[in-house]
Amino acid sequence: MKWSGENLMPFFLFILLLTLQSYFITLSHSQSIIKNLPGYSGDVPFKLETGYVGVGKNEEVQLFYYFVESQNNPEEDPLICYIPGGPGSSALLAFLYEMGPLSINADNGTTNATLVLNENSWTKMASIIFVDIPAGTGFSYAKTKEAWVSSDSIVADLAHDFVKKFLSGHPKFLKNPLYIGGISYMGLVTPIITMKGYILGSPLTDKFMDFNSRLEYSHRMALISNDIYESAIRHCRGNYVNIDTANPLCAHSLQRYKQVSI
């Protein structure tokens, strides 16, 4: 089924509902319990909370979150604070397309997309906080121009502040094992703020090492020929990222590699 304005309408209504539920807020910490959603028949069979937590200097950054309690044993199951990649990807993507409790079903024989339960949701064994971070991601925002400024270290500090304040508002989870989860770019940030441990998916760990290893990986997966691989090894001397402009043989070897691998 093709995605169109008609069959995406429940998705947009879903976002609007979550926004309106969290509109009337206090700046430090607000929360709303969501019992039903457009596109889902009946009440959702799990506890869904959305809200804002003020973090940083004078709580000038307001981080939006979706919190789903474990559907197994929330009193003892792990608590995961999940930070999406990008940076700048909304946590709603993880909520609906990755490990969240719901998925979008566009191919349901009707003109409208619907929400269905995700059989592989991590919330069957853990409570998860999906956080829009940094400011400007999803529904999160900053109240001052200065607070919009972000960096890896700032994101780590704000995430740590968020976790502390979230737990102060949800003290029953203080004794639960706490993990930080992330994907992609958050591989650089998540280990800094790890608690009990961390969970990473396709993480960026070191920009040079990650990108520099692509040639070796491509050769071992038989994506490039021995000739291309050996030429790059011979002329680039182990550096396939920061190319020496005075080394045209390396540039030529990598150009051959890119033409095949892209």
CATH H-level superfamily of 9-201: Alpha/Beta hydrolase fold, catalytic domain (3.40.50.1820)
Residue labelled with tokens 């956080």: 131
pLDDT score at 39:
87
| Cα–Cα dist 17/36, whole Å | 10
pTM as predicted = 0.74
Q: What does each C-alpha distance from 171 to 15, 27, 153, 193, 215 come to in angstroms?
A: 28, 20, 27, 20, 49
User: Given phi > 0 = left and psi -120 to 50 = alpha, else beta, which region is 112?
Assistant: beta
Side-chain-side CA neighbours of residue 157 (13 Å): 12
Structural contact between residues 78 and 179, judged by C-beta atoms closer than 8 angstroms: yes
In this predicted model, what pLDDT tens digit does every residue of 248-259 receive, in sequence order? Answer: 999 898 888 888
Instruction: List the domain boundaries for the chain.
Output: 9-201, 207-261
Q: Which residues of the chain have pLDDT under 70?
A: 1-30, 108-110, 194, 261-262
Q: What is the pLDDT of residue 261?
A: 64
Q: What is the pLDDT of residue 24?
A: 39
The whole-angstrom separation of Cα 100 and Cα 77 is: 16
Which contiguous run of DSSP H or E holds residue 234?
Answer: helix 226-236
